[in-house]
A and B are shown apart, each in its own frame.
Chain A
Amino acid sequence: MHFRYKIEGGDFTNAGSTASAVKKVLKQLNIDPVIIKRTVVGIYEAEVNIVAHAYNGVIDVDIDENRIFARFEDAGPGIPDITKAMEEGYSTASEIVREMGFGAGMGLSNIKNNSDKLEIISQVGKGTTVEITNYFNSK
């Protein structure tokens, strides 16, 4: 199964619609609720990061019987120091982002805690790609 969602920077009204759609699909597939929660929490934070930090992006979600793979590819400023960005508390978020209940620098570390595999590739001035993989039969 493959789904594609488009997402606009600054569009906080729709932030979370991808995570919501994915949640519905995983529920229908009878995936373990603990794994569903881990997965959609990660997807939601990654989605919010595009809205909060980038200009626009595309989210590709691929589901097979063993795992869910989500790729978040955005056009945006990129992340100069990924190690630093992963640190809890590091944030460049604007006041607007904080008013939305985010921007405390906890997103990336929480995505890591809620994923089996996380990869981040970024090019300053171009954009960022985040890839999350979660397995359905967690060993």
Chain B
Amino acid sequence: MNLKDISEAIQGDILYTSKDLMKDYSYAFASDLMSDVLTVKQSNMLLITGLINVQAIRTAEMSDIRCIIFVRNKKVSEGMIALAQETGISLIHSSFTMFKTCGLLFTAGLKPVY
């Protein structure tokens, strides 16, 4: 699924798109715990999180995650968007819960990492 399909599946808003709008994602991982995200070896995955701060962006940067979906209708700060631009990470805003966001994307075909 590309970024546009993913965003449509969760009625999300794309806050920032790095170059790879057409890039295909196969896997997703959901967590509010960044230490957890940092243990995942899978590449080409997107991160679904309710953790709304710059560390979510930093964690994605270190983990080679190209896209983050922020759930539970949280406000994403300018500083976070600026860091995402700097590091080339696409951001999507979802007003749904983590559970609903995951459920919709799972149904749409994204795979779990384990």
Q: Is the CB of A15 within 8 A of B55?
A: yes
B residues in contact with A103, CB < 8 Å: 35
A110 to B58, CA, bound (A): 16
Is A45 close to B, CB under 8 A? yes
Is A76 close to B, CB under 8 A? no
Q: Is the CB of A100 within 8 A of B53?
A: yes
B residues in contact with A113, CB < 8 Å: 39
A104 to B35, CA, bound (A): 7
The residue that A37 contacts in the complex, of B36, B53, B64, with Cβ under 8 A, is B64
Q: Is the CB of B36 within 8 A of A106?
A: yes
Q: Is the CB of A19 within 8 A of B58?
A: yes
A residues in contact with B64, CB < 8 Å: 33, 37
Is A135 close to B, CB under 8 A? no
Most central of B32, B38, B56, B79 by chain A CB within 10 Å: B38
Is B1 close to A, CB under 8 A? no
The residue that B87 contacts in the complex, of A12, A20, A45, A106, with Cβ under 8 A, is A20
- For chain B, what secondary structure do more than half of its interface residues adopt (helix, strand, loop), or is it mixed? helix
Q: Is the CB of A101 within 8 A of B53?
A: yes
A residues in contact with B79, CB < 8 Å: 13
B contact residues, total (Cβ < 8 Å):
21
A65 to B36, CA, bound (A): 31
Q: Is the CB of B38 within 8 A of A110?
A: yes
Is B59 close to A, CB under 8 A? yes
Q: How many whole Å from B70's CB to the nearest CB in chain A? A: 13
Q: Is the CB of A45 within 8 A of B38?
A: yes
A residues in contact with B36, CB < 8 Å: 104, 106
* Chain A positions 36-51 with a Cβ under 8 Å from a chain B Cβ: 37, 40-41, 44-45, 48
- B-contacting residues of A (Cβ < 8 Å)? 12-13, 15-16, 19-20, 23, 33, 37, 40-41, 44-45, 48, 100-104, 106-107, 110, 113
Q: List 15 A-B contacts (CB under 8 A).
A: A12-B53, A13-B54, A16-B55, A16-B62, A20-B61, A23-B62, A41-B62, A45-B38, A101-B35, A101-B56, A102-B33, A102-B34, A106-B39, A107-B35, A110-B39
